[in-house]
Amino acid sequence: MKIRFGVGLGAGPSLSDFSRTVDRLEGAGIDSLWLSEQVYSDAVDPFIGMAHALSRTSRLKVGTSVAVLPGRHPVLVAKQLASLAALSPRRVLPVFGLQPARPGERELFPAPEGRRGALFDESLELLRASLRGEAAGFDGEFHTVGSARIGPLPARPLDIWLGGSAPAGLRRVGWYGDGWLGSFLTPEAAGRARETIQAAAAQAGREIEPDHFGISLVLAQDGIPDDLALTMRRRDPESDPRDLVATDWPGLHRLLDAHIEAGLTKFVIYSAGSQPFDTFLDRFEAELLPRQN
């Protein structure tokens, strides 16, 4: 299976350095660039950032890590993705999640009280139908679509990956997703998540390709920032942040080895701390590009 490493930007580098970073990733032969949905920050919007990065490059793949789907109209999202895929075939990597990681941003993606999961499921159905040209006459609980049809449709259907780690979210990946990008999980938990997804896919009469399982990992060389530790404890109060985040490059390699042993093959690496981003990219190239196969 293909082992691949991508660079996650999170809230940095600054927008003034975004184009230069994209050019550097392309020139270095790095597999992919991943853009987070962080509205109340200086981070580039993931869809705008994808368009800009894809327009400057010919090889680099660009994805969302992760974008929120519930609260967006799926047909408009399908139109954006279809346009990007037509302009940059095989380089658009959409990953969607249930809701923003930051509680203060959840008001921007409205959903009926207690129905966000159901809205996500229906949105995924309509998104996939739109990308196949089969959305006409869609009549769901939350969305109704008449005879309209978007275009141009991708020559090869886009893979739609999903995030999430709750049991319902993992089952959703099996039912609707083409791949999974997890975060803040131990290798053992990530391996169990992969098995849960595969079982749900089998029950739905589907199959997810073995190399379509990945995880985002953080390298925090100045120590784990307090806000990051708080985020991890909020998600899983029983977890020890030191089991989830690498604090040096040898530690990152150990985490990678364990995740690969658990069956994961795609990795998005983020840098947290005061280290200059160019220094992180220097080490990324030296440490991780030789590990790709």
What tens-digit pLDDT sequence spans the chain (293 residues)? Answer: 899 999 999 876 778 899 999 999 999 999 999 999 999 999 999 999 999 999 999 999 999 999 999 999 999 999 999 999 999 999 999 999 999 988 899 999 999 999 999 999 999 999 999 999 999 999 999 999 998 889 999 888 899 999 999 999 999 999 999 999 999 999 999 999 999 999 999 999 999 999 999 999 999 998 887 778 777 777 777 778 778 999 999 999 999 999 999 999 999 999 998 889 999 999 999 999 999 99
Q: Are 5 and 288 in contact (CB under 8 A)?
A: yes
SS3 58: coil
Question: Which residues are within 8 A (CB) of 142 and not within 5 positions of it... i.e. 6 or more apart?
Answer: 112, 115, 118, 119, 122, 123
- The single-letter code of the amino acid at 18 is F
What is the H or E stretch that residue 183 is in? strand 179-183
- The single-letter code of the amino acid at 2 is K
How many domains does one find in the chain? 1
Domain limits at 111? 4-291
What's 266's domain CATH number?
Answer: 3.20.20.30
Instruction: Output the pTM of the full model.
Output: 0.95
- DSSP structure string for 237-288: TT--GGGTSBSSHHHHHHHHHHHHHTT--EEEEEEESSS-HHHHHHHHHHHH
State the Cα–Cα distance between residues 287 and 126, nearest whole angstrom: 41
State the Cα–Cα distance between residues 168 and 101, nearest whole angstrom: 17
